[in-house]
Structure 1
Amino acid sequence: MDPLYRAGSVFMKVNTVQGKKMVESGLQSGDFTLPPAWPSCLPPPADLETLQQKVAGVQRELEDFKKEALQAIHSLEVAFCEMNEALAQQEEQAARVKQRLREEEDRGVVRNKVLTFLLPREKQLREHCRRLEGLLLGRGHGALGTPRKTQAN
């Protein structure tokens, strides 16, 4: 619902949705003439002069308002562009972080596969080394199927 503002004894309906186009095109006409059906209601010439001065003042105020509104809209556009640029940078940085995380996860998966393969292999090699060590140490004492020499000989 558009707000109503009271200006003197006149109610004005302000449309805040149309924005820039309303400011640029709607205020350019500046047509404050009375319709032809009202000539009998015209005030006396002295009041008409005051009324024309007031209308000229309102037109100047409208032009000032138009300039200020356009400046504010331009400032908002600049801020919006800056925010979009910052957002794009943040999204780009987030994408790089996600890519690094994916790469790190991939390396972790590869490490896990390598460890999964190597740990049982290491266990087998340790057992094989123990057997070989036992055979080697046992050879000096008569292992490998040869009878032990006794100290009596």
Structure 2
Amino acid sequence: MEPLYQAVSILTKVNTFQGKKMVESGLQSGDFSLPQSWASCILPPADLEILQQKVAGVQRELEDFKKEALRAIHCLEDAFCEMNGALAQQEGQAARMRLREEEDRGIVRSKVLTFLLPCKKQLREHCRRLECLLLGQSCEALGTPGKIQAH
């Protein structure tokens, strides 16, 4: 079989060159018949039939390959779409989680402030009373009650 392929490639090269000359001369003369020198290059009918069967087999394999490649491409597209959907869903969940975390932080801040503000007010009052005691002044003169609360 190997010599057949080599003969075909040589035949192709010869045919291309001779065919080019034939077309050029045929266009000028209007004669498109095969020259006598080509008769020796044409394969015997049995070899030609085998070659045609092989070409048909290669064409079938090529069509099968195309169908298989298209199926693989469709599977890849489906997987890609599925992955994009999952990614979008995860991004949405992450955004909701961040929002919840921010809301939770806000709630915690509010609770802390709610607790600390009265403590700050009490601490200021206590500091004023202590300052009054230290300076020996009357707390009523500063506008703060004179009662000291111990905690």
CA shift digits 1:3-51 (9 cap, x unpaired): xxxxxx89xxxxxxxxxxxxxxxxxxxxxxx868398443222211100
Dislocated runs of 4+, deviation >6 Å: 127-130
CA shift digits 1:65-93 (9 cap, x unpaired): 11111111111111111111111110000
What amino acid is the match of 2:60? Answer: R
For 1:103 and 1:37, the matched residues in 2 are separated by 82
Q: Give the Å deviation of 1:106.
A: 1.7
Change (3 A) 1:98 1:133: closer
Match of 2:106 in 1: 106
For 1:122 and 1:57, the matched residues in 2 are separated by 97
Unaligned ranges ≥5, structure 1: 1-8, 11-33, 135-153
For 2:102 and 2:145, the matched residues in 1 are separated by 39
CA shift digits 1:110-141 (9 cap, x unpaired): 2333333121224448x89993789xxxxxxx
For 2:61 and 2:68, the matched residues in 1 are separated by 10
Match of 1:37 in 2: 19
For 1:132 and 1:98, the matched residues in 2 are separated by 46
Match of 2:87 in 1: 87
Q: How does 1:72-151 map to 2 (within 5 A)?
A: 72-123=72-123, 124=125, 131=147
- Higher normalized contact order (CA 8 Å, seq sep 6+, divided by chain length): 1
What amino acid is the match of 2:58? Answer: V
* CA RMSD between the two structures: 3.4
TM-score, normalised relative to structure 2: 0.54
What amino acid is the match of 1:114? Answer: T
For 1:129 and 1:76, the matched residues in 2 are separated by 80
For 2:113 and 2:97, the matched residues in 1 are separated by 24
For 1:108 and 1:42, the matched residues in 2 are separated by 93
Match of 2:70 in 1: 70
Unaligned ranges ≥5, structure 2: 7-14, 21-33, 130-143
For 2:59 and 2:149, the matched residues in 1 are separated by 107
